[in-house]
Amino acid sequence: MKVRCFGIAREIIGSDELIVDPNAAQSVEELRKLIIQTYPEFEKYSSFMISVDFEYAKDSFQLTGKEEIAIIPPVSGG
Amino acid sequence: MVDKLNTVLITEEPLSVESLYQQVQVPEAGGNCLFVGTVRNENKGKTVTHLEFESYIPMALKEMDKIAQSAQNKFELQLCAIGHRVGTCKLGEIAVIIACSSKHRKQAFEACQFAIDELKKHVPIWKKEFLQDGSYWVNSRP
């Protein structure tokens, strides 16, 4: 599945899109752990939320692989 | 009941105070409050040269719509309009506008404050600040 990346997440990952094996991340929590494991810079630079289909998602959210997913680092609009 | 709808927009073009003001104009309104956020030339004592805003636009519009709706309900507004700029913003340019109209001034003032505070907390927009000696994403520094 594809995970869209913005702001500092895009810079840490080095792309605006991350491809993840859906079997390796069946929930938002698993996806979060996988991202931090693969890119330890997140621990140093930024916490992040995960959005699923344009809404902030809880860690318990179960992913099917068909959703639109994004990494949402701390926002700073305004 | 007004027949106009709340407005939310994200644009690479300069934002217009007049245009957002017109979006909330209705005969029922007697108090109109606008918050205009502009690009400041310094932050924490350092000279800022410009800003860049990035957004996850479909989600940001959805979140902005929720804020406009809840401001409208909570403060009994006539209308609420929220506009945010993306891309490169020069010093002095407008980054964000909140416009609220209500029967009386108190609700419009309070709703403006509420809406900008909520926007800063929840809307997926990211600001990169460019200083003379480098740049960084605001809220994402070790």
What is the pLDDT at residue A45? 82
CB contact at 8 A, A76 and B137: yes
Taking an 8 Å cut-off on Cβ atoms, the answer to whether B54 and A7 are in contact is yes
What is the pLDDT at residue B77? 98
Residues of chain B in contact with residue A56, where contact means CB-CB under 8 angstroms, are 122
Nearest-neighbour CA in chain B from A20: distance (Å): 20
Taking an 8 Å cut-off on Cβ atoms, the answer to whether A73 and B84 are in contact is no
Q: How confident is the model at residue B142 (pLDDT cuts 50, 70, 90)?
A: low
Taking an 8 Å cut-off on Cβ atoms, the answer to whether B142 and A45 are in contact is yes
Of B37, B123, B137, nearest to A8 by CB-CB distance is: B137
Domains of chain A from N-terminus onward: 2-72 (3.10.20.30)
Please tell me whether residue A66 adopts helix, strand or coil conformation. Answer: coil
Instruction: Write the DSSP assignment of chain B as a string of letters.
Output: --SS--EEEEESSPP-HHHHHHHT--TT--EEEEEEEE--SEETTEEEEEEEEEE-HHHHHHHHHHHHHHHHHHTT-SEEEEEEE-EEEETT-EEEEEEEEESSHHHHHHHHHHHHHHHHHHS-EEEEEEETTEEEETT---
> Counting one residue from A and one from B, how many pairs have CB atoms under 8 Å apart?
81
Chain A residue at shortest CA distance from B61: A54
Instruction: Encode pLDDT of B101-111 as tens digits.
Output: 999 999 999 99
Chain A residue at shortest CA distance from B56: A6
Rounded-to-integer distance, Cα A47 and Cα A73, Å: 6
- Residue B1 clears pLDDT 70, i.e. is over it: no
Taking an 8 Å cut-off on Cβ atoms, the answer to whether B55 and A77 are in contact is yes
Taking an 8 Å cut-off on Cβ atoms, the answer to whether B137 and A11 are in contact is yes
CA B70, B110, B115, B30 torsion-angle sign: positive
State ipTM.
0.95
- Euclidean distance between the first and the last CA atom of chain A, given in angstroms as a whole number: 32
Chain A residue at shortest CA distance from B128: A7
What is the pLDDT at residue B2? 59
> Which homologous superfamily does the CATH classification assign to the domain defined by B7-133?
Molybdopterin biosynthesis MoaE subunit (3.90.1170.40)
Instruction: Encode pLDDT of B32-83 as tens digits.
Output: 999 999 999 999 999 999 999 999 999 999 999 999 999 999 999 999 999 9
What is the pLDDT at residue B3? 76
Rounded-to-integer distance, Cα B124 and Cα A26, Å: 24
- Residue B141 clears pLDDT 80, i.e. is over it: no
Taking an 8 Å cut-off on Cβ atoms, the answer to whether B123 and A77 are in contact is yes
Of B127, B137, B140, nearest to A77 by CB-CB distance is: B127
Q: Which two tokens stand for residue B84?
A: 């945010």
Q: Which two tokens stand for residue A49?
A: 């939320």
Instruction: Encode pLDDT of A4-56 as tens digits.
Output: 999 999 999 999 999 999 999 999 999 999 999 999 999 988 899 999 999 99
